[in-house]
């Protein structure tokens, strides 16, 4: 058994993969395993993985013969983990050399189910955008709560999860949808994950130019994710108050009470979002935009139906 199992889903990332793997094998915390799932890449990603597998015995490569998507790849990695804690990284990103060691020391110090390192950078080809979450103080610990949890980015890549907690509640990624991180993080929160948040070394989130179609489809995928989260809570008799901001508060705004609740919350985080616009995706900014621009529930209904009109989402994202 090792200290941390790192799961890396891989699909057609040959130009970036070595940078990611180098950041992992050079970690100051050496007692880790690195599980790489090649999701039927059509470039030379598999060859890169095999070369690194020969170079470092901590790397284990799984090769899917049929493309199944990032959720299936991550779920396969979860089945194979032997570490006490689980960490996910995307194959075109990288982390500072002491990232995992600092995360691991913090989780031992706090005995948390999940720790969140809110220091990360969105890396563009010509600039870097730093996160700015000043509501978290150094060495601040807290249990999952509406006020704090819903302000945290829903990415699994800035979190370290206790394996026994994930296994206990059988938490997996939903298949066939974008926004799977939102579901996974929300599921941990609904199960009352004791969470520690701190500012540590940096996660480097590389911004590639994705296809326009994926961007336009994102709103639909998020709505499906939110429905799955809601169903998970109901089916497992979980309190829904701990939903992520971009799940519960944007699922279906079908009552004035829900609208007023969201409106009040958005007013609380207005300055936070404005300072961090480059680290939110289009759908998150869409939600923020429509709530802030409407003064009443009736105004909201006039421009966006209670099920969050797909037509409006596509218009907001530039689709004709």
State the pLDDT at residue 248: 41
State the pLDDT at residue 126: 87
Per-block average pLDDT, block size 10, for the chain (320 residues)? 96 96 98 98 97 97 95 97 97 97 93 90 87 63 52 85 95 87 84 82 85 49 68 70 42 65 69 61 64 81 52 41
State the pLDDT at residue 287: 67
Three-class DSSP category at 237: coil
Give how far Cα 156 sits from Cα of 183, 272, 302, Å: 10, 20, 36
State the pLDDT at residue 41: 96
Residue 129 φ/ψ, nearest 5 degrees: -115, 115
Both 163 and 229 in a single domain? no
Both 22 and 102 in a single domain? yes
Three-state secondary structure string covering 98-149: CHHHHHHHHHHHHCCCEEEECCEEEECCCCEEECCCCCCCCCEEEECCHHHH
Residue 247 φ/ψ, nearest 5 degrees: -115, -75
**Contact between 201 and 95 (Cβ < 8 Å):** yes
If 0-12 CB within 10 Å is exposed, 13-18 middle and 19+ buried, where does residue 60 land? middle
Query: Where a domain ends, among 189, 206, 223?
Result: 206
State the pLDDT at residue 252: 54
**Cβ density class 170-197: b for 16+ within 10 Å, e for less:** ebbbbeebbbbbbbbbbbbbbbebbbbb
Both 111 and 146 in a single domain? yes
Both 82 and 51 in a single domain? yes
The CA angle 151-156-161, to the nearest 5 degrees, is 105
Beta-bridge partners for 120: 203
Cβ neighbour number for residue 213 with a 10 Å cutoff: 9
User: Distance between CA atoms of 154 and 150, rounded to whole angstroms?
Assistant: 9
State the pLDDT at residue 307: 45
Residues 6 or more apart in contact with residue 187 via CB below 8 angstroms? 169, 171, 229, 232
Both 227 and 299 in a single domain? yes
Both 105 and 239 in a single domain? no
Both 177 and 35 in a single domain? yes
**Cβ density class 277-294: b for 16+ within 10 Å, e for less:** eebeebbbebbbebbeeb
Both 278 and 167 in a single domain? no
State the pLDDT at residue 142: 55
What is the value of pTM for the model shown? 0.76
Both 161 and 282 in a single domain? no
Which one-letter DSSP state was computed for residue 174? P
User: Distance between CA atoms of 222 and 178, rounded to whole angstroms?
Assistant: 7
Q: What is the CATH number of the domain that holds 76?
A: 3.90.550.10
Both 178 and 246 in a single domain? no
Half-sphere exposure of residue 114: CA atoms within 13 angstroms, side-chain side: 28
How many domains does the chain contain in total?
2
- Supply the range of the domain harboring residue 233: 212-316
Query: Where a domain ends, among 206, 223, 242?
Result: 206
Query: Where a domain ends, among 159, 182, 206?
Result: 206
Both 166 and 24 in a single domain? yes
State the pLDDT at residue 247: 41
Both 48 and 183 in a single domain? yes
CA 47 to chain centre: 28
If 0-12 CB within 10 Å is exposed, 13-18 middle and 19+ buried, where does residue 274 land? exposed
């Amino acid at each position: 058994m090792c200290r941390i199992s790192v799961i890396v889903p891989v699909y057609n990332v040959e130009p970036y993969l070595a940078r990611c793997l180098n950041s992992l094998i050079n970690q100051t915390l050496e007692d880790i395993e690195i599980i790489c799932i090649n999701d039927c890449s059509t470039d030379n990603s598999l060859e890169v993985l095999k070369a690194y597998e020969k170079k470092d015995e901590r790397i284990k490569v799984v090769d899917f013969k049929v493309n199944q998507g990032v959720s299936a790849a991550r779920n396969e990695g979860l089945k194979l983990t032997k570490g006490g804690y689980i960490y996910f990284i995307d194959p075109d990103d990288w982390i500072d050399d002491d990232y995992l060691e600092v995360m691991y020391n913090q989780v031992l110090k706090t005995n948390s189910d999940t720790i969140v390192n809110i220091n990360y950078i969105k890396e563009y080809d010509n600039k870097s955008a730093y996160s700015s979450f000043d509501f978290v103080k150094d060495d601040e610990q807290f249990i999952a709560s509406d006020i704090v949890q819903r302000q945290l980015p829903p990415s699994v890549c800035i979190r370290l999860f206790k394996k026994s907690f994930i296994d206990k509640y059988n938490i997996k990624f939903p298949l066939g949808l974008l926004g799977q991180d939102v579901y996974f993080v929300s599921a941990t929160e609904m199960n009352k994950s004791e969470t520690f948040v701190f500012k540590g070394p940096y996660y480097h989130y590389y911004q590639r130019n994705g296809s326009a179609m994926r961007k336009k489809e994102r709103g639909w995928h998020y709505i499906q994710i939110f429905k799955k989260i809601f169903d998970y809570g109901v089916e497992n008799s979980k309190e829904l108050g701990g939903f992520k901001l971009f799940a519960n508060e944007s699922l279906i705004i079908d009552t004035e009470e829900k609208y007023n609740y969201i409106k009040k919350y958005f007013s609380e985080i207005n300055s936070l979002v404005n300072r961090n616009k480059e680290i939110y995706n289009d759908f998150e900014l869409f939600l923020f935009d429509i709530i802030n621009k409407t003064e009443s529930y009736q105004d909201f209904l006039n421009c966006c139906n209670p099920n969050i009109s797909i037509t409006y989402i596509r218009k907001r994202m530039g689709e004709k």
